[in-house]
Amino acid sequence: MTDQTVPVQADSSNTQNKPEIAPVTPPRKLQPLRRLVPFILKYPVRLSLTVLFLLISAVSSLSIPAVLGGAIDEGFIEQNLENVGRYGWLIVGIAAIMALASGARFYFISVIGERVLADLRQAVFVHLLRLDARYFDTNRVGELTSRLNGDVAVIRNAVGSSFSLALRSVVTIIGALIMMFLTSPVLTLAVVIAAPALLLPLIAYSRRLRGMSRRTQDALADLSAMATEMLGATRTVKSFTQENTQAAIYDARSEDSYRAEVRRLGARSVLVGMVIFLGTSAVVFLVWWGARAVFAGTVTAGQLTQFLVYALMASGALTNVSEVLGILQTVAGATERLTEILDTEANIKDPVNPVPLPVPALGTVAFENVDFGYQTSGFERVLTDLSFTVDLGETVALVGPSGSGKSTTLALLQRFYDVGAGVIRVDGIDIRDVRLEELRQRFAYVEQEPTIFAGTIADNIRFGKPEASQAEVEAAAKAALVHDFVVELPLGYDAIVGERGVMLSGGQKQRLAIARAILKNAPILLLDEATSALDAQSEQLVQIALEHLMRGRTTLVIAHRLATIRDADKILVLDGGRIIDQGTHDQLVAKGGRYAELAKLQFRLDNIPAV
Ligand SMILES: Nc1ncnc2c1ncn2[C@@H]1O[C@H](COP(=O)(O)OP(=O)(O)OP(=O)(O)O)[C@@H](O)[C@H]1O
């Protein structure tokens, strides 16, 4: 598929056709985080240990001010050094327990965080691999990898430490409030009444932050998508001397992302500032109020100190909560984006009641009145009333001008998309009734530009059959005429071929792909012949490799090579998504119709005598 035309909107004033403007949704709160709960609940033991150590550290830290109060009243005020020493040792003992419990709590919650992240990352990747072609037609790969890396990293940085801090802070606030109440109900009441005045502006403000963080992460994903695309095409960029233009576009987007992040940071700083100011003012007020109570004799100096320390602990914890809320907003944004992927259902799924394909395979293919259009192009017809059969061992060639629907036919046969109307059968069975894996096991697909992965030569040949032995790999490599050049490499089959096979020549890549198909040993071969010209010797090697591959197999081939076309049992001539003619090469040339013209144009066959 080389010409991918995007339909142009004829009437841009037609409001129905205008791209939808993203609705301004009120920023939701932390709901997306709920989606992490099932991931966390999968580890009940670690979770229970975390809660246990959390409680131990909270209780011990909350008991310190009470002991301090006692030390002041019974030690300092009474000028009893022994009591001061006793209370001192008690505090040291409690601090030791608190330190151990806090360390253990931090450890367990961080481990849960890492575990959850690994699970989430794996779930998203597996889910992405299962989504169908239509999803990838509309979502950029770079953006998806950014979600997988960036969003997961955002969650990782926050989850362990922030969740730990949030939990500890919430428990501290509750515990401190209880202790404050036990120490002085009147003072506590004053604090509780004043608290909403402190909290409301904070809550309102932190809501704004969440919308902002989603926007900065979207901007980052956009940036990363562009980088992936451009770095994957450096040769094209260089050859069209587009380095400066693309760098300028990247700069502009990067600046956008920077500005979005600065705005978010500004908002967060205001939030932190508000918390500090309001919290300190509240403490000053408390000291003033408490001093009056001590002078009036309603509380002791020790109780006031105790109360103030609790109030400080609570306000410190509140500061932490506000910080963590900011971070959790970001995490919620990232979680939302990841769960969006997990919530996307594949359109192409296994049937509920699958029908098994016959064993041994019959190796037949039938298209019956197939209509098809891509959703991304508004279902505009790409194939119309397509009907043909391929019998066991036959070679059927698809020829036709660019955009006539040849690649689409192969895509439909592998059920990358579902037909709009009609039926496609493999071995007599409607492919929608067959399990996807079972169906695709029946095909060996050699793409026009074969995908070579960054691993070793052996890994690449084994791609469709990872359990294949070295001997099987070598046998396939020999049949595909790969073996000879591989043994000359210093590392042989363990040689790394580089990303997209950059260390291999065009012909070697094609033969490697053929070796991969030979090893898969599927009954039906789908071949999209390369159009790019190879030199005569390379061409001949690929041709021999292909002959080995086609031997004894049913073959459906998008044909560009003269040899393939002349030997095909049947040639289907496609134009505008319809079969306009069919027959053998000689029959079609003799007819002198569209095929003969195509043949003249594409293969310069005008000197080939008609039969
Ligand atoms: N993923 C897609 N989304 C939308 N339209 C598509 C998609 N793939 C192909 N098309 C459109 O479908 C039509 C048929 O394309 P197809 O790739 O099947 O043609 P082809 O005969 O294989 O062409 P070529 O020889 O250039 O590869 C073209 O108009 C193309 O623009």
In this prediction, residue 299 carries a pLDDT of 81
Domain of residue 308, CATH code: 1.20.1560.10
Task: Determine if ligand 1 sits within 6 Å of the CB of residue 602.
Answer: no
User: Quick check: CB of 406 below 6 Å from ligand 1?
Assistant: yes
- Residue 415 in any domain: the answer is no
Whether this model's ipTM surpasses 0.85 comes out as yes
Whether residues 459 and 317 share a domain: the answer is no
Q: Which residue type is seen at 475?
A: A
Residues 332 and 459 in one domain: no
pLDDT value at position 29? 63
Q: Does 405 map to a domain?
A: no
Most informative mutation of 141, 382, 384, 531 for ligand 1 (most atoms within 8 A of CB):
382
Q: Is the CB of 448 under 6 A from ligand 1?
A: no
Report the interhelical angle of 506-520 vs 536-550 (nearest 10°). Answer: 10
Write the pLDDT tens digit of every residue in 124-164: 899 998 888 888 888 878 778 877 887 888 887 777 677 77
Q: Domain with 485 in it: what CATH number?
A: 3.40.50.300
The CB of 57 under 6 Å from ligand 1? The reply is no
Classify residue 59: in a domain, yes or no: yes
What is the domain count for the chain? 2
Same domain, yes or no: 135 and 275:
yes
CB atoms closer than 10 angstroms to residue 280:
11
Q: Are residues 61 and 208 in the same domain?
A: yes
Q: What is the secondary structure of 99-168 as a DSSP string?
A: HHHHHHHHHHHHHHHHHHHHHHHHHHHHHHHHS-HHHHHHS-HHHHHHIIIIIHHHHHHHHHHHHHHHHH
pLDDT of residue 370: 94
Q: Is 138 in the pocket of ligand 1 (CB under 6 A)?
A: no
Asked whether the beta carbons of 558 and 398 are under 8 A apart, the reply is yes
What is the rounded CA–CA span in Å between residue 27 and residue 107?
33
Last residue of a domain, one of 521, 554, 577: 521
**Domain final residue, candidates 343, 376, 411:** 343
Q: Which of 481, 499, 521 is the last residue of a domain?
A: 521
Which residues does the chain have with pLDDT short of 50?
Answer: 1-28, 605-611
> What are the φ and ψ backbone dihedral angles of 386, each rounded to 5 degrees?
-85, 120
The answer, yes or no, to whether any atom of ligand 1 lies below 6 A from the CB of 521, is no
Based on the domain organization, do 86 and 204 belong to the same domain?
yes
Residue 527 lies in a domain: no
Domain containing 465: what range?
Answer: 452-521
Same-domain pairing of 471 and 324: no
| Separation between Cα atoms, residue 532 and residue 542, nearest integer Å | 12
Residue 367 pLDDT: 95
